[in-house]
Amino acid sequence: MTSLLNALNAGKTSLLTNQKSIEVVGTNIANINTAGYSRQRADLSDVPALNFGDFFIGQGVAVTSVSRDYNLFINQQLQNKSIEYGEETGKSNSLAELERVFNIGKDNLATQINEFFDAWRELTTNPNGQVERDIVIQRGQFLGDAFQGITTELDTIQQNMNTEIAAEIDGLNEKIAEVARLNERISMVEVAGQSANAARDQRDVLLNELSEALGVQSYTDNRGMVNLLLPGGMPLVQGNMASTITTVSNGTDVHLQLQVAGSTLEVFPENLGGKMKGMFTIRDEFIAGLRQDLNTLARDFTEAINTEHRSGYGSDGVSGRDFFLDMTTLGPNDVPSRNVRVVLTDGSQVAAAGNPAAAPGDNEAALRIAQLETGHKVAGTKDTFDSFYSTIVATVGIEAARNRLALSGARDATVQLQNLRDGYSGVSLEEEMIDLIQFQRGFESSAKFLATVDEMINTLLELKR
């Protein structure tokens, strides 16, 4: 009778174990489309056998835990590649806008420079012509407008980047705080001897998102809590404590600070990774470099024109006039490329002649200015005005092309790693159906076994009567 009761207990454990396994399969199937979900498995173990005389009798089976399919190496590779993908993503929109601003079409700054010098060449053919003089002034105004237009476009791109940076921060703070909350939940659940698989999956999704946005680095402590750091070592999450990122306006730009345990730390671009690093790199380095080159061109161009123009004479016999605004008169906060403007008020002031008592055909000064297009080298370089601007355009084009290539490569690598992760941890309906049939058969067999043992017990009871 005792052995039958043991058999009855073994059948019961088998029935419950197969039922629990079917529940786990059902959970997997229900979450097949859940982002970041890892397939769960019921881990089975036989109950320790009991000694009956000269042999041991098994006591059934038990579900010791519910584990998830997880590969640390794949997930870390995915996290690292997300950082690279995020950095290139942070650069892509701004570079596309910069390509539009520094275009290689017909309507760009180089075209305006060429047309300005064309107007001077036309003036050399008729140095006393009022129409030609007016056109020279008009072309100078158009050129100034082109410089100012590019500068305004750069300001707009920079403002848009500042707005986007500020808009991203609130969402990132929510994710950082959620990681801290999940840390606490995971620790409490697992200290009690249970599995926090769902919370771990949610935390992994957040880690990938924060890696893409901030380039976070992570490590897990002995309590199962993930600690997050910025690339420069600043703490974002320590156990169940989360730091907060804030934005601070500095002039026209936005900068970041980190609130950590009552202290405020400045977050510099070198402390960042991912999308934020890409955006700060474009804003503070690449666009700043373009501004510097544009200002160099504006200063050198106006100075070269003014130098020659001051040595010439207008049709009114006056010399020493500047054609463009003298850049040396600008204040420290004035932007040269925004201040390229013609200061002459009348065509008679255009200095085409080389002598005060100009003969009707005196075009000496106009010739010298026209020859600056090919004869002058910008700021000690080997570039003419046109080729110097072309270098700026090429810099933008090369960086934009590099970004597209790197972004495509990082995206493909991320997709491949995600597919690898899904292949290892994701849910396969075919595998789940096989497991479902297996556990269903096990459940039916356990029920049949219990019915058989029940009949045997009833038979024994009838015999004793």
Which of 177-181, 329-333, 345-349 has the largest mean confidence? 177-181
Span 347-369, average pLDDT: 86
Alpha-carbon distance values, 90 to 33, 249, 282, 283, 412 (Å): 28, 20, 8, 10, 17
Span 362-384, average pLDDT: 91
Separation of alpha carbons 353 and 312, rounded Å: 6
Q: What's the mean pLDDT when you consider all of the chain? A: 90
Residue 51: per-residue pLDDT: 63
Query: Which residue stretches of 34-129 are H helix?
Result: 72-101, 109-125
Over residues 291-308, the pLDDT tens digits come to 999 999 999 999 999 999
Residue 1: per-residue pLDDT: 53
Half-sphere exposure of 284 (CA within 13 A, CB side): 14
Span 29-36, average pLDDT: 91
Residue 325: per-residue pLDDT: 95
Over residues 424-453, the pLDDT tens digits come to 999 999 999 999 999 999 988 888 888 887
Q: How many CB atoms lie within 10 A of CB 49?
A: 12
List beta partners, residue 324: 342
Please choose, from the candidates 309, 314, 347, the residue with its C-alpha nearest in 3D space to the C-alpha of residue 326. Answer: 309
Residue 355: per-residue pLDDT: 84
Answer yes or no: is pLDDT of 4 > 70: no
Contacts of 178 (CB under 8 A, 6+ apart): 202, 206
Separation of alpha carbons 175 and 170, rounded Å: 9
Q: How confident is the model at residue 13 (pLDDT cuts 50, 70, 90)?
A: confident
- Give the three-state DSSP class for 383: coil
Longest dimension (CA), the chain: 146
Separation of alpha carbons 324 and 306, rounded Å: 6
Span 378-403, average pLDDT: 92
Residue 451: per-residue pLDDT: 85
Report the run of H or E that residue 444 belongs to, with start and end: helix 429-464
Residue 6: per-residue pLDDT: 72
Separation of alpha carbons 284 and 90, rounded Å: 13
What one-character-per-residue DSSP string does 16-43 give? HHHHHHHHHHHHHHHTTTSTT---EEEE
Contact 179, 240 (CB under 8 A): no
Contacts of 199 (CB under 8 A, 6+ apart): 182, 185, 186, 189
Please choose, from the candidates 273, 231, 279, 236, the residue with its C-alpha nearest in 3D space to the C-alpha of residue 255. Answer: 279
pTM of the model: 0.86
Q: What percent of the chain has pLDDT over 70?
A: 95
Contact 171, 158 (CB under 8 A): no
Q: What percent of the chain has pLDDT over 90?
A: 71
Over residues 40-96, the pLDDT tens digits come to 999 888 877 666 666 666 678 888 889 899 888 999 999 999 999 999 999 999 999
Contact 166, 254 (CB under 8 A): yes
